[in-house]
Amino acid sequence: MAESPRPAIGLSVGGTTLAAVTADRSVTRRAVITLFRHHPALVGLPGENPVPDEAGLVITDFVDRVGDPVPVVAADGSVHPGEGLLAEALRALAGVATGGRPLPPAVAVTYPAHWRGPAVEALRRALRRMPEWSATEPLLIPDTAAALTALQADPGLPTRGVVALCDFGGSGTGITFVEAGSHQPIAASVRHLDFSGDLIDQAVLAHVVAELSAGGAVDTTSTSAIGSLTHLRAECRAAKERLSSASVTSLPAQLRGFRGDVRLTRTELDDAIAPALAEFVAAVQDGMARSGVRPADLTAIATVGGGATVPAVTTALSQQLRVPVITTPRPALTAAI
């Protein structure tokens, strides 16, 4: 009788988003952790989780602090190593993905390819300190290697030439050139910070606010408007995601002087991100030149991450670089898958 495969879970670390995938479930959460005295830690924005019966300590911006000898200082003055917070967040996310059941023995964690060795080792040590993973250490994999494995499986990659892997994350986009057959990097991954999910959200927000302010009734300068703009930015992010498959959508806005729905089209989204997208394509071309990749050597662009679902991204890369653009059915989850 054949042995049934062990249950497994894939976890991926991004600058702003964490993801988990099991055989039957996938979960994404913002890279936010809430710590409690008498309650297990929760991962994600407070609104993404059930409300516990005690107040918690919300901590953000810890992913980029992994391996930093200077700890993260929380709002209450307490200090926390970045890698410890990330390990705790990954354990909490794994618990969400498994529905609270015991964590499976086979766990893989992908980390950003631009991380240096000390950051990877710091995370490795922090994961070992988690009780569930003290006996069987999770497998740590660069997200580029994981993404290329997933892309090779579905839908497939060229077997000759050079593939440019573009990983569109929340805080930046990674660019890696690899040999198509072996998937070996030609040069170190480069991180382009001027095109990211957060900056796209900000561009959409600026467009919406400009449209609402054109009539002169909306006030975005008062202190009370800060909370409203934060909420509106979240709505802009959701609208951006809907425009990946729709040509028009609407989003609710509640600002001083305006309450109602705002119409947003894919063309308006494309126009809002066009300057930053053009700079990104130029960065890919510059990276090719620096890595010694001739235009004739490039056989495909592989795209992963949330930004890979934006149609304008695919169009710009295909038109400017003159090669096919390949992605997966769920690009935001590619590394975890």
* pLDDT tens for each residue of the chain, 337 residues long: 444 455 699 999 999 999 999 999 999 999 999 999 989 999 999 888 887 888 899 999 999 999 999 999 999 999 999 999 999 999 999 999 999 888 888 899 999 999 999 999 999 999 999 999 998 899 999 999 999 999 999 999 999 999 999 999 999 999 999 999 999 999 999 999 999 999 999 999 999 988 888 766 666 665 556 667 888 999 999 999 999 999 999 999 888 778 889 999 999 999 999 999 999 999 999 999 999 999 999 999 999 999 999 999 999 999 999 999 999 999 999 999 9
How high is the pLDDT of residue 117?
Answer: 96
Distance set, CA 336 to CA 100, 215, 313 (Å): 19, 45, 22
Answer yes or no: are the C-beta atoms of 261 and 232 closer than 8 Å. Answer: no
How high is the pLDDT of residue 215?
Answer: 65
How many CA within 13 A on the CB side of residue 162? 22
How high is the pLDDT of residue 6?
Answer: 56
Q: In 3D, which of 176, 152, 24, 29 has the Cα closest to residue 91?
A: 29
How high is the pLDDT of residue 1?
Answer: 43
The answer for residues whose C-beta is within 8 angstroms of residue 151's C-beta and 6 or more apart is 157, 302, 304, 326, 327, 328, 334
Say what the pTM is: 0.90
CA separation for the pair 120, 114 (Å, rounded): 10
The answer for residues whose C-beta is within 8 angstroms of residue 43's C-beta and 6 or more apart is 18, 29, 32, 33, 34, 49, 89, 90, 92, 93, 96
Residues forming a β-bridge with 11: 20, 109
Tokens linked to 256: 């001083």
Residue whose token pair is 């890979």: 308
Alpha helices in the chain (DSSP H): 82-97, 117-128, 143-153, 197-213, 225-242, 266-291, 311-321
Cα of first residue to Cα of last residue in the chain, in angstroms, is 28
How high is the pLDDT of residue 240?
Answer: 95
Residue whose token pair is 């729709």: 246
Q: What is the DSSP string of 235-255?
A: HHHHHHHHTTT-SEEEEEEEE
The answer for residues whose C-beta is within 8 angstroms of residue 135's C-beta and 6 or more apart is none
CA separation for the pair 249, 268 (Å, rounded): 11
Which phi and psi angles does 287 have, rounded to 5°? -60, -35
Q: At what angle do helices 311-321 and 266-291 cross, to 10 degrees?
A: 40
CA separation for the pair 26, 46 (Å, rounded): 19
303 three-state secondary structure? strand
Amino acid letter at 168?
F
